[in-house]
Amino acid sequence: MREPEESPRGVAEPRLPEAAARSHVGHLRAANEDACLCRPELGLFAVADGMGGLLRGELASRRLIEALAALPADPGGVELRTAVERAVERVHRELLEESVSFGPSGSTIVVLLLEPRRFRLLWAGDSRCGRLRESRLEWLTTDHNLAAALVRRGELPDEEARRHPLASRLTRAVGIDEDFLLDELAGRARPEDLFLLCSDGLTGELDDAEIIAALRADSLEAAADRLLDRVLAGAARDNVTFVLVRPSPAPSPSEAGRRDRA
């Protein structure tokens, strides 16, 4: 195993998060309107799902990901969360303005901002982030669609709501309504956590037990392959895109010792 690089003063540099991403058009769609981003150097990961019922869903998701990909490695004193919010808001305004001439274009978005021991989520729509911890999958985001309201009222289990006809009726997305707000959640991250960002092409096809089974693999890349294979073994009626992210591991005792002596 390669040792972490050290700074000139002999202090080990922080390890970056580990990530693996997959995106597939599925079996029925003609084009892939999903997009995703992995920027481990910033601790920035995202999935966007263009709204297929609109004229330019692919454009909207691509615009969002390109805006996040263009963020500088050093935001210039601006908090990364603020930089992400501004980038998403800018795309939102551009899409609204262009809709007058070219028709509506919208997309969901879910963004993970990850530090070694903290995480923050920003999202709009039904692209999700879940966390696998101690073999339990917890969905950290809540969908912005009409089916989610039934779940909150206790009228429908989440796994049924994901396949309910009302699940396609979004109540919030980038580029659609004048009043736009990203939901936000922050919390602590553990080195053994596994974060899953995904479009509804994944959650609409697989239940939680199937997802957990696929994620039990020796490596993140192997887990990503198994997860995609499970979706494609079924109907795969929608585009499917996901990003798997594991926080940077805790330093080994020898690395911690070097830091203490520096």
Residues 6+ apart with CB under 8 A from 164: 147, 150, 156
The model's confidence at residue 76, banded by pLDDT at 50, 70 and 90, is: low
Residue 254 has pLDDT above 70, yes or no: no
Q: Would you say residue 2 has pLDDT above 70?
A: no
- pLDDT number for residue 88: 98
Boundaries of every domain in the chain: 18-261
- What is the structure's pLDDT at 249? 66
CB 111 within 8 A of CB 129: no
Give the residue, 159 or 90, on which the prediction is more confident. Answer: 90
What is the per-residue pLDDT across 107-151, written as a single tens digit (0 to 9) for each?
A: 999 999 999 899 999 999 999 999 999 999 999 999 999 998 888
Q: What is the mean pLDDT of residues 218-238?
A: 96
Q: Is the pLDDT of residue 258 over 60?
A: no
pTM over 0.95: no
Question: Which residue(s) pair with 108 in the sheet?
Answer: 49
What pLDDT was estimated at residue 77?
67
Residue-level pLDDT at 60: 93
18-60 residue pLDDT tens: 999 999 999 999 899 999 999 999 999 999 999 865 557 789 9
What's the mean per-residue pLDDT of the chain?
88
For helices 220-232 and 208-215, the axis angle rounded to 10 degrees is 140
Q: With cut-offs at 50, 70 and 90, classify the pLDDT of residue 101.
A: confident
For the chain, give percent helix, strand, coil, nearest 5: 30, 25, 40
| Predicted confidence (pLDDT) at residue 17 exceeds the cutoff of 90 | yes
pLDDT at 205: 96
Mean pLDDT of 235-258: 75
% of the chain exceeding 90 in pLDDT:
68
Q: Which CATH number fits domain 18-261: 3.90.550.10, 3.40.50.1820, 3.10.20.30, 3.60.40.10?
A: 3.60.40.10
Whether residue 71 has pLDDT greater than 90: yes
Tokens encoding 101: 């001439």
Q: Mapping DSSP to helix (H, G, I), strand (E, B) and coil, where does residue 245 land?
A: strand
Strands 118-124 and 183-188: antiparallel
| pLDDT above 80 (res 259) | no
- Asked if 148 contacts 208 with a C-beta cutoff of 8 angstroms, the reply is no
Mean pLDDT of 81-102: 92
The Cα 32–Cα 46 span in angstroms is 16
**pLDDT, tens only, 160-175:** 989 888 888 999 999 9
What's residue 58's pLDDT?
86
Q: CA of 94: how far to CAs of 46, 90, 245, in Å?
A: 20, 6, 30
CA–CA distance, 238 with 236 (Å, rounded to integer):
6
